[in-house]
Structure 1
Amino acid sequence: MGLTKKKHYESYTLAFKVKAVRESKKRGVRAVDVAKALGIHPVMLYRWRQEYKEGRLSENKHMQIKAPPPKKSREDSDALKRAETRIKELEKRLASKEEEVVILKKAKRFFSDQRRKDTRS
């Protein structure tokens, strides 16, 4: 039985990753070419780009860089208020429809019981 060798994986610094991502984002530059020039696999660069975009590109699990939250504009808050109002309205309508369904089920049971009683006599 053969033994498996543990592979050595290169670890890159946060500065290296960020620099690679920024280089690959430049206009007219292909990410594949940047990865080739840096001697890394293109998939690794794409993963770093995604992590950078999500604000979770980090050198290790304990140190994370987060992007600042986007500033809320007046239009955003107004849209949010309208959406919340609409949600409340729809929740009320849903509750009303659910109540109607319960009543209709009870009526169906009542009338089917009445029909059974009428057919027996």
Structure 2
Amino acid sequence: MYDSAFKIKAVQLSKERTNISELARELGIKATLLYKWKKEFEEFGTGSFPGNGKMKLTFEQEKIRELEKKLKDAELERDILKKAISIF
């Protein structure tokens, strides 16, 4: 519904303002939605609001996903080499 640039700008504005409800009214959104965006931005930073159904991951989660992929690739390579050794 709202693009990530709008959400990020709304969060930035909310940091400059004291009355979040008033800001939300000015932006045409509910205050609860603005609070939700603010919380998400605090947790994920620039990775917030990726869109297209992609998961938001913290740095640690992304690193774990990357390492799990490398491990799976290494295990596959090991299994292939084991089969090759048994042939010779």
Q: Deviations over 1:19-50 (max 9, x none)?
A: 00000111x53111110000000000000000
In 2, Cα distance between equivalents of 1:54 and 1:12: 19
Structure that is richer in helix per residue: 2
Structure 2 residue identity aligned to 1:43: T
> Which of these residues, 21, 35, 40, is aligned with residue 51 of structure 1?
40
- What are the equivalent positions in structure 2 for 1:27-42 lying under 5 Å apart? 28-42=17-31
Distance 1:40 1:66, change over 3 A: same
**Partners of 1:13 and 1:59 within 8 A in 2:** no
Instruction: Decide whether aligned partners of structure 1 residues 63 and 35 sit closer, same or farther in structure 2, where only a CA change above 3 A counts.
Output: same
Moved over 3 A (4+): 63-67
Alpha-carbon distance between aligned partners in 1 of 2:57 and 2:4, rounded to the nearest angstrom: 10
Shift of 1:58: 1.1
TM-score when scaled to structure 2?
0.54
Q: Which amino acid aligns with 2:36?
A: R
TM-score (norm 1): 0.40
Structure 2 gaps, min length 5: 60-88
Flag the 1:65–1:44 CA change in 2: closer, same or farther, 3 A: same
Distance 1:54 1:48, change over 3 A: same
Determine what percentage of the aligned residue pairs are the same residue: 34
Aligned length: 56
Cα–Cα, structure 1 residues 58 and 41, in superposed 2: closer, same or farther, change >3 Å? same
Instruction: Please tell me whether Structure 1 or Structure 2 has the larger radius of gyration of its CA atoms.
Output: 1
Q: Distance in 2 between matches of 1:65 and 1:13?
A: 19
- Aligned residues: CA RMSD: 2.2
Gaps of 5+ in 1: 1-10, 68-121
